[in-house]
Amino acid sequence: MGVGLTLSVSGLVRLTCDFATQAYVARRRAEGKSDREIVPCLTRYAAREMFRHLWRPEPVPPGADLRRD
């Protein structure tokens, strides 16, 4: 699966369960965009958010156990 498809799918999945994404789509619909025009907007939105996390990761508290059982 390519990166673009992965971002598109993650945007669509987030649309069903993330309130911030739903608010973003509502703003785009208020601007007069169709659902077909909103999907690329969601893809760019997801890409920007992921890029932000890659370049400025949240600090890990000292002594935190990052392993998952």
Taking the chain (69 residues) in consecutive chunks of 10 residues, what is each chunk's mean pLDDT? 78 85 90 89 84 82 72
Listed by start position, the domains of the chain span 3-55
**pLDDT for 23:** 92
Q: How far lies 68's CA from each of 36, 37, 54, 57, 65, in Å?
A: 39, 39, 21, 19, 8
**pLDDT for 55:** 87
Phi and psi of 64, rounded to 5°?
-75, 140
**pLDDT for 68:** 66
**pLDDT for 30:** 95
